[in-house]
Amino acid sequence: MILLRTKTELRNYVRQVRQTEQSLGLVPTMGALHPGHGSLIRASADKHPATVVTIFVNPLQFGANEDLDQYPRRLQADMDMAASFGATAVFAPSPDEIYPQPTQTLIRHDALDALYCGAFRPGHFQGVLTVVAKLLNLAQADAAYFGSKDYQQLHLIRQMALDLDIPTQIVGLPTVREQDGLALSSRNEYLSAQERQNALGIYQGLLRAREAYESGQRDPATLADLVRSQLGLADSIQYVHVLDAATLLPTPALSGPGVILVAAYYGKTRLIDNIVLN
Ligand code: AMP
C-alpha cells in the first residue's frame, strides 16, 4: 500500500493503474477509520484491483465553532487499517495541497443545502460537495463508495454526480453499527461512557418507528414522536425528520419508501443517524 501526499502523486498513481487497464475505486473519508469505513474499502477492493482511500479533514465543511482542530488525526493507524481492508493507496493531502488558493467556486444543492443538517451547519454541504467533486475529478475512479450513515450527504452527492455528468458511479452502502446498535462514527470517541449509553436511544427510537411503519403507520408526525420518545437522555435534539426517501422532502403521508433522519447532542458530541422505511 502506498501513501500519496500530493495531487500530482495521485494523478500519477491513477495513470499507472489505467495503463494496466485496471479499474479503480475511491473511498473518500476524513480518517480516524473504523469498520464502517472498512466496509466501504472492502466493497471497493472486492470490485476493483486498485482502491484509493482519501484521508482529508476538509476545513471547508466545518463551521467556525465546530471540531476541526479536535477531529482525530492518526495517519499511520489509518494506513494500517485501510491496508487491512484491501486499499492499495491512501491519498492524504494537506489543506494547502487541496486548496492552494481560497476556492471561489462552491457546489450547492439548490433545495436541500440549508435543510436538516444544513440548517444547523451552514455551508457544510457546500464544503462537502466541493471537496467530493475535487476528489472525484482527481481520482477519475470507476466507482466511489459512501455510507448511508450520512444519508443527506449521500443523497446530495448522488444528485451532484447526476446533475454535473460526473462519470464515476456513486455507490451507497449500509450503516455499520456496534452490536448494541450505535452507528459507528469517528466522533463516538468523544463520548463519555454515560453519554455513549444514553446515545443508544437513537437507534432504539429508529427501530421503534420502523416497527410502527411495518405495522402500517404512515403518519410522519406519529413516526417522529416515536423516535423522540426514545431520545429522553439526549442533551438536546436538533431534529427528527420523517421524509420521502426519494426526494428527501417532507410529505403529508408516506406513500413510497421513507427515511427518518435524526441529529442529537450527547454531551458536546453531535450524533446523526437514520433508518430507511421500505
Ligand atoms: P467520514 O470519515 O465520517 O467523513 O466518513 C467517510 C465515509 O464513511 C462516508 O461516506 C460515511 O458515510 C462513511 N461512514 C461513516 N460511518 C459509517 C458507518 N458507521 N457505516 C458505514 N459507512 C460509514
Residue 69 alpha carbon to ligand 1 centre in Å: 19
All 3 cell numbers of residue 69?
Answer: 482542530
Q: Give the mean model confidence (pLDDT) for residues 165-179.
A: 98
Cα(250)–Cα(265) distance, integer angstroms: 23
Backbone angles phi, psi at 32, to 5 degrees: 50, 55
Please say if the pLDDT value at position 35 is more than 90: yes
Q: How confident is the model at residue 136 (pLDDT cuts 50, 70, 90)?
A: very high
At 260-270, the pLDDT tens digits run 999 999 999 99
**98 CA to centre of ligand 1 in angstroms:** 21
Region 250-266 average pLDDT: 97
- On average, the pLDDT of the chain sits at 98
Ligand 1 centre distance from Cα of residue 216 (Å): 31
Q: What is the C-alpha separation between 29 and 11, in angstroms, rounded? A: 18
Residues 6+ apart with CB under 8 A from 219: 253
State if residue 176 touches ligand 1 by the CB under 6 angstroms criterion.
Answer: yes
Nearest CA to ligand 1 atom 12: 147
| Ligand 1, atom nearest to 31 Cα | 2
Q: How far, in Å, CA of 75 to CA of 84, rounded?
A: 14
Active site residue 37: yes
Q: Work out the angle between the directed axes of helices 220-228 and 200-214 (0-180°, nearest 10).
A: 150
For the full predicted model, state whether its pTM sits above 0.95.
Answer: yes
pLDDT at 67 over 90: yes
Please tell me if the CB atom of residue 27 comes closer than 6 angstroms to any atom of ligand 1. Answer: no
pLDDT band at 21 (very low <50, low <70, confident <90, very high): confident
In this prediction, residues 33-58 reach a mean pLDDT of 98
Q: Is the CB of 51 under 6 A from ligand 1?
A: no
| 61 Cβ inside 6 Å of ligand 1 | no
Atom number of ligand 1 nearest to Cα 175: 20
Q: With a cut of 90, say whether residue 12 has pLDDT above it.
A: yes
Is pLDDT at 184 greater than 90 in this prediction? yes
Cell 413516526 sits on residue = 223
Does any ligand 1 atom lie closer than 6 A to the CB of residue 183?
yes
Residue 8 has a pLDDT of 98
